[in-house]
Structure 1
Amino acid sequence: MAESGSETAAGAKPKRKPIVWLGIFLISHSFFFSVVFSAAGVVALLLLPVLAKNTYISENALMPGSAASMLSNQEVAEASRLVSDLTSSNLKPLGSAIGSQRILAQHMSNLGAEVSFHKFHSQRNQFHPLHFFSSPDSGRVEQNVSCSMHGVNTVGIIRAPRGDGKEAIVLVTPFNSAKVNPNEAFSLGIAYSVFSLLNRVPWLAKDVIWLVADSQFGEYAAVSAWLRDYHTPVFSGLGTLDAEMCPESNNLYGMNENLSTERAIYDGFKRAGTMAAALVIKVADQSEQFEDGLSIYAEASNGQMPNLDLINVVNYLAVHRQGLRVKVEKFWSLLGVKWLNTLGEIFESLGHFARSLNPDWKFGIPANDYVEGSATLASSLYNQALGVPTGPHGAFRDYQVDAITLEISPKISLLDNIARRNDLLLRSGRLIEGVIRSVNNLLEKFHQSFFLYLLTSPGKFVSVGVYMIAFALLVAPLPLVATSLYVDASNSDSSVKKEKPSPSAIITRESWKWLYAAKKAFIVHLWGSVVSLLPYFICQMPSCTPTTSFIIWVLLSVLSLVLMYMVLASPSSHTNESQPQRVEWPILKSVTLSAAFIGLCLMSVINFATAEIGGLLMLPMCLMAHPLKPDVKARSKRTLSRAVCNLVLGFIGFPPVAFIVLKGAFEGLGSTNVGDYWSWVESLWAWNSATYLYIGMVHLPCWALCIHILFHRS
């Protein structure tokens, strides 16, 4: 009995696990499921504005608006006088930027703040492969550098009466000291009104730093240089710099003779505690709206975003306390797209139908809200995918400090109406006061809410758990089709083995085909790395226009590809008798799909938006890749249609062409040329954007492999 039972058990086939059975089923129907998953990924992306949730305050300690504002007309009047002093004509006899800086330092010092100057040297961002992921060393003052290329930040610090000096909140107001701008002067007035109030409030538990960033060489450069020196000890002050090289630097300290010892300008770099949050305050030109507006800019380098609670606090206080119309950036060109409006009407009708079945089903939004949400979502995706900060707040995110830029847009000119100017000063100052008071309540850094999200409006967002579904569905066909091609190739090898008497020869053939395909894919990706490094050498050429640089880049890229193929992958190094050494296109396509899948998944960890947009461009090209020669010979409607689609997708998939097509779709083709692509790529590497590496080391090699498959001799 025991023996028969054991024989039955030995003869029975082991049951497959459900996940193995599911994998086999998906691979065996890879074409059908690749179409389904791709379509589902696009639909899920279009559904994101519908699935967006209302924002909410996750951290209860913030308590925005729980306390009455203490900012009064007295602080507003003092701030208005500062604005008048900066914009009045009596600044002209001072002749230089030092005049306005001395006025700012004088007002800060009169409040009892610790005032100091921070001198930095403006450096031009230039591509360097070894320093790609490091910040430019813009904070170092070097010898033998023209004094005209130096900027001076004015810094004031208020010590919290109830704090221990371990935490700080930063206010930033960009100000071009060389040319007084009324809007920048007004932003200084807003910060000064809040600064003068915080000097005497009893509830302040965090130090407050007011950084007047000298923006004559760029807002970001001034803030970045100050942050670098803030986090890196510097043992020499402004007064110890070479006075012969920059003699006017000492003039900044001339006011010390008229001030008491306690209020003197400090010679040295003053610091406070760890930064809890930072607000960049700017004032835009007169708005075209019928009400005062507030624009929020949050994107930092490589798609980094501040904690959503910081945006939520600003949005709540601006709308419900100060009556400001809050806006986030959107693509205005999408608002008039007909198919998007039609899609919004469809989703609105589906929402009405769902609520008719069950009132508790909350699906669908008005068509207008869907179109605006889609335009805002597209802008959020685009700005995150670029990896370029949308304001000087991006410098703080590099040090893991939550920061945003607040741009106030008045509905009328502030110079013509003093009463309106004071009213907007009061409302804006109370907004900043409320945000600072909320951050002041925190006992720890922002951590409760989301760091990975996409905005569809100031009050709605899509979390990472929702938008990753669209990406997962979009890239799911890549491993399915790659595995299916692998199985088909293995089955064809098995049929050949029955005719071949030498098993060792068959094993060598099978292994070599995959090794040769992997080797060719590796060489092409290595070529992509070389192409990514070529701009470093092209930038060394003097007097090159963007168009000329782009043409040189293309020629050197083609030359390097030919040389690498001749040296590393030339078929002449193999004997002609070994036919399996010729790469078959299904095997190469399987390797290409695998490489694309790995590259997109890795990029999604660094910058999701880049991976999502890259997947939309790369997926059709990779999945449709098929040799053109047999399709043209067949001359059927299906094969000819596939050949035309492959040619179109291969043309659009080329990165410069894709850039020109997308730019033309949003801005028009009238002002577009090939030199714009070089300028765009130059901005990517200047800001150390990971999108540049993705284009050169993932997208471009996969495109080259797909083109190789199209022209494969089958």
Structure 2
Amino acid sequence: MALICTRLSSNAASTWLTVTEASILALRRDPRILKLPPYLSALCIVIGVSWLLVLPLNQYSRQTYVSENAILPGQVHTYYGGSEHDVFRAYRHEVAALADSSVEERSQKLNDIFRGIGLKVAQQDYTYSVGGRNISGRNSYAMLQGPRADATEAIVLVAAWRNMDDAINYSAVALVMSLARYFKRRLSLLAKSTCTFIDGKPGWSIWSKDIIFLIPSDSTAGTQAWVDAYHDNHDPSTISSLPLKAGALQGAVALDYPAGPWGHRFDKLHVVYDGINGQLPNLDLFNTAVSIASGQMGIGCTIQRMWQHNDSYRERLQTMLRGMISQGLGHASGPHSAFMPYHVDAITLQTVGDGWHDEMSLGRTVESLFRSLNNLLEHLHQSFFFYLLMHANRFVSIGTYLPSAMLVAVSFSITAIALWVQSGRPPKSAGKTLPSGEKGGKPDMTVIKEGGAVALVPTATLEVVERQLAFPLAAVLGLHFLGIVSFYTFNHVAQSSLRSSFFLFAVLSVLLPPLATFILSRTVRPSAQEYTLLHSFSLLLLGASLSTLATLNFSLALLVGLCASPFSFIRPFPARLPASLPPSFRAPLFVVSAVVLTAVSPMAILGLSNAYWGRSVVDLLADAAFGWTVWGMWTGFVIWGVWWPAWVVGACVLWSGIFVEEK
């Protein structure tokens, strides 16, 4: 009896499992399920944006702090001042006299000054060819060998001859030379206990790292050429190798202090930290600079050009968004940006405003900052490398803000999966086949036997529709290849032809979807299923690309994802419109859909952005070509190789409803 009951229970359980599996299979065909993905995608986007908006709140952000105990920011007494002010002004007059000199004369004079201080001196020539124009210059640099160093580590002090605004960096260059003299020699009787003799002259023995003083010709190309050559990652035919090197670079600080030939007092320090491709320095370096400037020297610090910041929610959000835009662009925001790809933490200190601080305050800040870097026993690693700053003293770490971009990327994947399921659905008539061919009959049923269990399942539930993958895969790969070709063309066309090339490309891009769908409908004749698969593969690749990019450049991934978010809601027109919609509404709705889709195209977004910032398309494309050639900036690759193909696919899907009838 027990054996019989056990067998009956087993048969009942098997029957229940079979029926459950059949119910799940039937649920897959339920049209109500396929209506959910668009709402889920929209919900992910809304939550992602909302997540971003709550980050400035105190509950989701944190106060900055220094993780590396060895840095000891602001714990040393600074001696820069007094008679060094006269030395600085003398050097500033020397710099002002070189304003109209040639590159050769200027480099020779700078080398003579460094050599007179007692430093080892070298120079480097470089030439970049970008878009039919040559960018050349000469970098001058000197090296102070630390008395307690073993030539294995070094820190860099940079002052470009011309800053990011293309102004002569008078006071910054003079300050670097003054600090070089100060670091080399005994400068205060108060430091007599730490004084030793180097080459017969008094000097400090505190330096455990070599110090390099670099004066590149400009803030972007010159610094990049020097850093590339320092790490032997350059083309010797266009960029000279460095005859003088030290050890591994542990950090770099750049100064941006034009102030004119007669000087100018400043109010605050603008700490610039954005690197190429959104890379950021270790947060400990930023926090050390802010702690020294504001805590020890009494100099206010600001970021992202927020000159007035009251630490309110609105200003925190504005600062964070400005930082995201800067990181999303991926450009070099200062001389420090060239060090980022080589994992060298660097920042730029830029003087702003009218106040009572002078070059002595900045000099003491740099001295204290270098004394802190000199204390490092190993490379900065304990603090964060991925963060969003919303105030000089407040930040959000990657674990808090990353879900925002991931949710936007997931919205594309959800739609892609739904489209894949939809492409495998049988024709609408499936499941209604009448066994006798008579109207009113029951649909075909299939008998499933498993063990002793028997279940009846509609045949349509088990029917598998063959998917035609050749055309969708070839089209997606072809469009991405075409986007890469466009990216290559923009980087190599002459600057004089950039405007016409861009507008020609924009017109062809707008005309490509309707022409392509029309020609394909007369030749290849892709079915509605193949367009659905094309859309699915495109969104799947877009979601995977953005989710991967979010871990490297969160801001770029989020900005592209938000601009591309309408792609998830595109459907063939008018094939997928509700039957209840009046025919008179269909034409206006199609026009609105086409206009919205065109408005979120890369060409339209770039044009509107340029108009907002008052720049021309030529400048943007020239900077992008320069960024790719010199910095290795991949923003253009993401725009033309990821975003543009997805937009073209979305436009083709929209137009496919006119030329392809869904069966």
Question: What is the TM-score normalised by the length of structure 1?
Answer: 0.73
CA offset at residue 445 of structure 1? 0.5
One-letter amino acid of the counterpart of residue 229, structure 1: A
Deviates more, 1:621-630 or 1:557-566: 557-566
Deviates more, 1:107-116 or 1:547-556: 547-556
Q: Which residue does 1:111 correspond to in 2?
A: 117
Instruction: Report the 3-state secondary structure (helix = DSSP H, G, I; strand = E; otherwise coil) of the residue aligned with 1:512.
Output: coil
Paired residues for 1:15-30 under 5 Å: 29-30=36-37
Q: Which residue does 2:207 correspond to in 1?
A: 204
One-letter amino acid of the counterpart of residue 526, structure 1: F
Question: Is the contact made by 1:284 and 1:409 (CA closer than 8 Å) also made in structure 2?
Answer: no
Question: Is the contact made by 2:330 and 2:634 (CA closer than 8 Å) also made in structure 1?
Answer: yes
Paired residues for 1:256-405 under 5 Å: 269-285=243-259, 292-330=267-305, 369-405=312-348
CA offset at residue 649 of structure 1? 2.6
CA offset at residue 195 of structure 1? 2.0
Q: Is 1:5 matched up with 2:6?
A: yes
CA offset at residue 301 of structure 1? 1.4
Instruction: Report the 3-state secondary structure (helix = DSSP H, G, I; strand = E; otherwise coil) of the residue aligned with 1:205.
Output: coil
Q: Is 1:522 matched up with 2:523?
A: no
Q: Which residue does 2:654 correspond to in 1?
A: 710
Question: Is the contact made by 2:73 and 2:291 (CA closer than 8 Å) also made in structure 1?
Answer: yes
Q: Give the direction of change, closer, same or farther, for the CA distance of 1:694–1:2 in structure 2 (3 Å limit).
A: farther
Structure 2 distance, partners of 1:330, 1:641, is 44
Question: Is the contact made by 2:538 and 2:649 (CA closer than 8 Å) also made in structure 1?
Answer: yes
Paired residues for 1:190-269 under 5 Å: 190-199=175-184, 200-213=203-216, 215=217, 218-232=218-232, 269=243
Question: Is the contact made by 1:592 and 1:622 (CA closer than 8 Å) also made in structure 2?
Answer: no
Q: Which residue does 2:453 correspond to in 1?
A: none
Deviates more, 1:674-683 or 1:600-609: 674-683
Q: Give the direction of change, closer, same or farther, for the CA distance of 1:14–1:378 in structure 2 (3 Å limit).
A: same
Cα deviation 1:481-522 (Å, max 9, x = unaligned): 33333334444459626649999x999993234554444333
One-letter amino acid of the counterpart of residue 487, structure 1: V
Q: Which residue does 1:170 correspond to in 2?
A: 156
Q: Which residue does 1:649 correspond to in 2?
A: 596
Cα deviation 1:554-607 (Å, max 9, x = unaligned): 46668988999899x676357xxxxx8454654444333323212222322342
Paired residues for 1:666-685 under 5 Å: 666-667=612-613, 678-679=621-622, 681-682=624-625, 685=628
Structure 2 distance, partners of 1:29, 1:395, is 47
Question: Is the contact made by 2:34 and 2:422 (CA closer than 8 Å) also made in structure 1?
Answer: no
CA offset at residue 95 of structure 1? 5.5
Q: Give the direction of change, closer, same or farther, for the CA distance of 1:10–1:300 in structure 2 (3 Å limit).
A: farther
Cα deviation 1:645-675 (Å, max 9, x = unaligned): 53343021111111223444x44xxx57665
Q: Give the direction of change, closer, same or farther, for the CA distance of 1:555–1:491 in structure 2 (3 Å limit).
A: closer
Q: Which residue does 1:695 correspond to in 2?
A: 639
Q: Which residue does 2:523 correspond to in 1?
A: 572
User: Which residue, out of 363, 367, 378, partners 1:429?
Assistant: 363
Q: Is 1:53 matched up with 2:53?
A: no
Higher normalized strand content (fraction of residues)? 2
CA offset at residue 196 of structure 1? 2.4
Q: Could you list the runs of 5+ residues in structure 2 that have no partner in the other structure?
A: 185-202, 436-443, 447-459
Cα deviation 1:206-257 (Å, max 9, x = unaligned): 01111121x2xx3222222222322229999xxxx9xxxxxxxxxxxxxxxx
Structure 2 distance, partners of 1:6, 1:592, is 51
Q: Give the direction of change, closer, same or farther, for the CA distance of 1:394–1:125 in structure 2 (3 Å limit).
A: farther
Q: Give the direction of change, closer, same or farther, for the CA distance of 1:628–1:459 in structure 2 (3 Å limit).
A: farther
Structure 1 distance, partners of 2:627, 2:136, is 25
One-letter amino acid of the counterpart of residue 139, structure 2: N
One-letter amino acid of the counterpart of residue 243, structure 2: F
CA offset at residue 108 of structure 1? 2.4
Question: Is the contact made by 2:516 and 2:652 (CA closer than 8 Å) also made in structure 1?
Answer: no
Structure 1 distance, partners of 2:461, 2:316, is 58
Q: Could you list the runs of 5+ residues in structure 1 that have no partner in the other structure?
A: 128-135, 139-148, 242-266, 336-365, 413-419, 575-579
CA offset at residue 479 of structure 1? 2.5
Q: Give the direction of change, closer, same or farther, for the CA distance of 1:509–1:531 in structure 2 (3 Å limit).
A: farther
Instruction: Report the 3-state secondary structure (helix = DSSP H, G, I; strand = E; otherwise coil) of the residue aligned with 1:530.
Output: helix
CA offset at residue 473 of structure 1? 2.4
Q: Give the direction of change, closer, same or farther, for the CA distance of 1:99–1:548 in structure 2 (3 Å limit).
A: closer
CA offset at residue 38 of structure 1? 2.0
Structure 2 distance, partners of 1:514, 1:561, is 20
Q: Which residue does 1:533 correspond to in 2?
A: 488
Cα deviation 1:157-188 (Å, max 9, x = unaligned): 111111211000111111259xx97x623112
Structure 2 distance, partners of 1:680, 1:108, is 34
Question: Is the contact made by 1:281 and 1:405 (CA closer than 8 Å) also made in structure 2?
Answer: yes
CA offset at residue 551 of structure 1? 3.1
CA offset at residue 82 of structure 1? 1.5
Q: Give the direction of change, closer, same or farther, for the CA distance of 1:176–1:521 in structure 2 (3 Å limit).
A: closer
Question: Is the contact made by 1:38 and 1:474 (CA closer than 8 Å) also made in structure 2?
Answer: yes
User: Which residue, out of 431, 438, 441, partners 2:375?
Assistant: 441
One-letter amino acid of the counterpart of residue 300, structure 2: R
Structure 2 distance, partners of 1:198, 1:434, is 12
Instruction: Report the 3-state secondary structure (helix = DSSP H, G, I; strand = E; otherwise coil) of the residue aligned with 2:335.
Output: coil
Structure 2 distance, partners of 1:225, 1:39, is 44
Instruction: Report the 3-state secondary structure (helix = DSSP H, G, I; strand = E; otherwise coil) of the residue aligned with 1:175.
Output: coil
Structure 2 distance, partners of 1:622, 1:529, is 23
One-letter amino acid of the counterpart of residue 708, structure 1: C
One-letter amino acid of the counterpart of residue 404, structure 2: A
Q: Give the direction of change, closer, same or farther, for the CA distance of 1:86–1:512 in structure 2 (3 Å limit).
A: closer
One-letter amino acid of the counterpart of residue 128, structure 2: Q
Instruction: Report the 3-state secondary structure (helix = DSSP H, G, I; strand = E; otherwise coil) of the residue aligned with 1:292.
Output: strand
CA offset at residue 534 of structure 1? 3.3
Question: Is the contact made by 1:386 and 1:684 (CA closer than 8 Å) also made in structure 2?
Answer: no
CA offset at residue 702 of structure 1? 1.3
* Number of residue pairs aligned between Structure 1 and Structure 2: 598
Q: Give the direction of change, closer, same or farther, for the CA distance of 1:235–1:637 in structure 2 (3 Å limit).
A: closer
Cα deviation 1:112-164 (Å, max 9, x = unaligned): 22222x2313223349xxxxxxxx9x9xxxxxxxxxx7633222111111121
Q: Which residue does 2:200 correspond to in 1?
A: none
One-letter amino acid of the counterpart of residue 549, structure 1: S
Q: Is 1:613 matched up with 2:552?
A: no
One-letter amino acid of the counterpart of residue 572, structure 1: T
Q: Give the direction of change, closer, same or farther, for the CA distance of 1:275–1:607 in structure 2 (3 Å limit).
A: same
Report sequence identity in percent.
Answer: 24
Higher normalized helix content (fraction of residues)? 1
Deviates more, 1:464-473 or 1:621-630: 621-630
User: Which residue, out of 359, 382, 388, partners 1:454?
Assistant: 388
User: Which residue, out of 337, 349, 355, partners 1:406?
Assistant: 349
Structure 2 distance, partners of 1:572, 1:39, is 41
Q: Give the direction of change, closer, same or farther, for the CA distance of 1:565–1:677 in structure 2 (3 Å limit).
A: farther
Q: Give the direction of change, closer, same or farther, for the CA distance of 1:9–1:162 in structure 2 (3 Å limit).
A: farther
Structure 2 distance, partners of 1:219, 1:52, is 33
User: Which residue, out of 131, 134, 151, partners 2:137?
Assistant: 151
Q: Give the direction of change, closer, same or farther, for the CA distance of 1:599–1:628 in structure 2 (3 Å limit).
A: farther
Question: What is the TM-score normalised by the length of structure 2?
Answer: 0.78
Question: Is the contact made by 1:318 and 1:326 (CA closer than 8 Å) also made in structure 2?
Answer: yes
Q: Which residue does 1:467 correspond to in 2?
A: 401
Q: Give the direction of change, closer, same or farther, for the CA distance of 1:95–1:617 in structure 2 (3 Å limit).
A: closer
Q: Which residue does 1:142 correspond to in 2?
A: none
Question: Is the contact made by 2:409 and 2:544 (CA closer than 8 Å) also made in structure 1?
Answer: no
Question: Is the contact made by 2:386 and 2:398 (CA closer than 8 Å) also made in structure 1?
Answer: yes
Q: Is 1:601 matched up with 2:575?
A: no
Q: Give the direction of change, closer, same or farther, for the CA distance of 1:442–1:26 in structure 2 (3 Å limit).
A: farther
Structure 1 distance, partners of 2:235, 2:224, is 19
